[in-house]
Amino acid sequence: MPVHSKMSISRRAAAIVAAGSGASALAGTAFVAPQLKAASTSSIHAQTLSAGVVSAPAESVSRLGVSALSVAGIAAAAAGASKARRCNTSKKTQQRMVTVAFQARGGDEDTRVCIPLEELRNTDVEKVGGKSASLGEMISQLSDVGVPVPEGFSTTAYAYKEFLDKGGINDFINEKLSDDSIYTDVNKLMEVGKAVRDKIMDTPFQANFEEELKAQWLRVSGGDEKFTFAVRSSATAEDLPDASFAGQQETYLNVMGYEDMKEKVHLVFASLFTDRAISYRHDRGFEHSKVQLCATCQKMVRSETGAAGVMFSLDTESGFDKVVFVTSAYGLGETVVGGTVNPDEWYVFKPTLAEGKNAIIARTMGSKLIKMVYKAGGGSETIDTSADERQKWSASDAEVTALAEMAVKIEKHYGRPMDIEWARDGDDGKLYIVQARPETVASQKKVGVIEEYKMLEKGSEVVAEGRAVGKRIGAGKVNLLTSIDQMAEFKEGEVLVADMTDPDWEPIMKKASAIITNRGGRTCHAAIIARELGIPAIVGCGDATDKVTKGQEVTVSCAEGDTGFIYNGSLKFEKKVQDLGELPPVGMKIMMNVGNPETAFTFGQLPNEGIGLARLEFVINNAIGVHPKALLNYDSLDADTKAKIDGRMQGYGTPKEFYTQKIVEGVATLAASVYPKRIIVRLSDFKSNEYKSLIGGDQYEPDEENPMIGFRGCGRYTDPFFEECFAMELDAIKKVRGEMGMKNVEIMIPFVRTLDMAKDVNEVLEKNGLKRGEDGIKVNMMAELPSNVFLAEEFLEYFDGFSIGSNDLTQLTLGLDRDSGLVAQYFDERNPAVMKGLEILIKAAKSKGKYVGICGQGPSDHPDLAKWLMDQGIDSVSLNPDSVIPTWQFLGKKD
């Protein structure tokens, strides 16, 4: 049993970045024995983050049976309004405030039992815990720069220690927690946790504490019994940069009246010893007797009639730090935090946000099936959302942008990536930050080390799918649990499958080889804990509990993009850990072939000089899935086809807007991943049989004997049949470069058979506002045909450079069908005829002073070919991401 914390008290405090008053990631705090004198605040250099009110699942504490409650933020109130309500504050309290400044700054021991939030700073963690200290910091430092923070007050660590001491609770707790067997026996843990919580609830508060608690309630509420508070925990060691303590204590919302608030403060004190909190602290080496628990009491934000969510100042899956990841759902934020709803999601790009550009680069609409609202008489309840709510975004683009701006300000103030909760008040329509704390997983990844999981065999049966959490793979036997009461049945190495999990499940989550839930998004508690534990998780599957059976062998893959797949059977996979070290210099630029926006943020962190090939058809096929002609002719389609399209385009105004905007989001995400380095986007190059496989495609595409050399590429762009479809692609490119400010985007034209085609396509580009050379736009040609080789210099008159497509160049030079296994043995880019063509193309571009690179498969498969190309003077090779490091190292070897 790792009893003692791995950090000294002062070091731990210095690491703290406080977490507002929310409970999305509440600290695993512990009681403090009264005989332990708190460390002097002069030794603490903690930078804590203040914020407002958020949520945390509130499981029943002991026998009181309090149901899960949610977060709601609190509107920042002016100091004058606060003072106006002080008429009912006791004279004793007013006199005590004279010495507040000295004591709250770390002078003589502060014996107050409650302190107004506005009198606190981030150095007061040992007095009032991380969340309350953070709120004081935020109110003083960030309210004036557009980060609204609510008012309220906090109980103190002194009050908590006095309660445990005078109530005679310490010895009882010490005795109960000294039994090491509770950390391996779930049933014993539940028994001990209940006994401790019962003891705390049976012990009344001391008289001076109750007097001051009521005085502070009167000050903030003005004595209004209908004034609503949020009451949540604030601990003296919580929300550390390397431990989230996600949801370990309780939060209570819509608390009305003094008696209700007093009861909820009592419940918060008891929640220090929930089973999950005891287990979490033990597993992370935090001594139970070294942390004090306080209660933060704040005015509620009316998000039950608005919306709320979570945002991170980086991408939680890859650690990519140039984006803000925003989630949102209707009602109180606990549905998002607790994972009971699949929220809407957005990514906002920080560099262009700072330039005032449209910086939302991606969005995904969640199902938002439920929302949490106030219950009459106090508390909260969950109800179904309406069909209209489900089909609309729960936050506007303007609100998402404003939230991202707040996230950037908070991150800048605290100098590290942050996990932030927010709420929109349904009454005044304003946005409020209700919690902020350090992001504890992605930001802690070791720099220079790449961990990669890869499926070695593809499953023939996908049992279910959902949102991938992390990038790992796990396998094992399914243990399907319907209740936390079944925890004792769970065995090490099993795959945990449940409708949803909350922090109470933590004692068994750490034993799982993988986690699967029906509900939840990538910012819910299950996702946060799974990341911290390093366990693959797939959330928001919808029907996983109906698709798998207990004892079934499954493989859980989170390594294939944003979508996680549950495969039937135990499949082979591999894990590679690569320490990059210092890569040697090479004689050309190494770029990447990346077409999947879902993997872009991960690959963008590899050493690279940009993206040399981004295939637009990947975006069209996966994000859109509909033939562009079908969208343009939507009104004339049959009902079945319309229904299929409607299911895909929810949240987008028109079919044309849907097509264009999805391309915008795909290209913008890819461009952001390597910004400001160049990205060369190859415009669509579907063959007719591939276009036919899209929804509605069979109505528009011909049957060709050999689509590989048929109606494709540049030939489509200049044909009247496809002109309007191609114009939508170009509109998307214009928006990314113009409105979104991503000037690093270049375009590439594929399969240019003749010089007339080259001339015609440039005219089409100019007609659609993308004239080569204007506003810095570069137009490259994919050199992949024998005609491109024979007339290389002539083709360069129409383009800014070549990107050599070695796949088609090889098949057409050697007369091979690269899709035919019968002649596959002859396909080799190193054939002398192919290499002669490569040499001609490189020399032609060099003689014209124009760019030449290669983006085909050859250099990825054959490092010797890459070296030969480098010796020929090629400007760049664009490789598959998994070939970047080994090829780089090969090329850097000294002979």
- Catalytic positions, written as ranges: 525, 855
Nearest Cα neighbor of 48 from 213, 239, 311, 177 is 239
DSSP secondary structure letter of residue 622: I
Q: Is 851 helix (H, G, I), strand (E, B) or coil?
A: strand
Nearest Cα neighbor of 528 from 251, 688, 338 is 338
User: What is the rounded (10 degree) CA torsion for 587, 588, 593, 594?
Assistant: 100
The C-alpha atoms of residue 430 and residue 739 are separated, in whole angstroms, by: 26
Please answer whether residues 117 and 153 qualify as being in contact, where contact means their C-beta atoms are separated by less than 8 angstroms. yes
Furthest-apart CA atoms within the chain: distance in Å: 96
Amino acid at 820: S
Distances (CA, A) of 539 to 303, 519, 618: 24, 6, 24
Nearest Cα neighbor of 497 from 462, 461, 538 is 538
The C-alpha atoms of residue 783 and residue 764 are separated, in whole angstroms, by: 20
Tell me, rounded to whole angstroms, the distance of Cα 479 from its chain centroid: 27
The C-alpha atoms of residue 836 and residue 813 are separated, in whole angstroms, by: 10
Tokens of 73: 């933020």
Please answer whether residues 503 and 276 qualify as being in contact, where contact means their C-beta atoms are separated by less than 8 angstroms. yes
Dihedrals phi, psi of 481, to nearest 5 degrees: -110, 135
Task: Output Rg (C-alpha) for the chain, integer angstroms.
Answer: 30
Sequence-ordered list of residues with C-beta below 8 angstroms from that of 221, at least 6 positions apart, any chain: 85, 227, 229
Distances (CA, A) of 712 to 256, 690, 760: 67, 10, 15
The C-alpha atoms of residue 275 and residue 177 are separated, in whole angstroms, by: 11
Tokens of 8: 């000294």
Dihedral of alpha carbons 637, 639, 644, 647, sign: positive
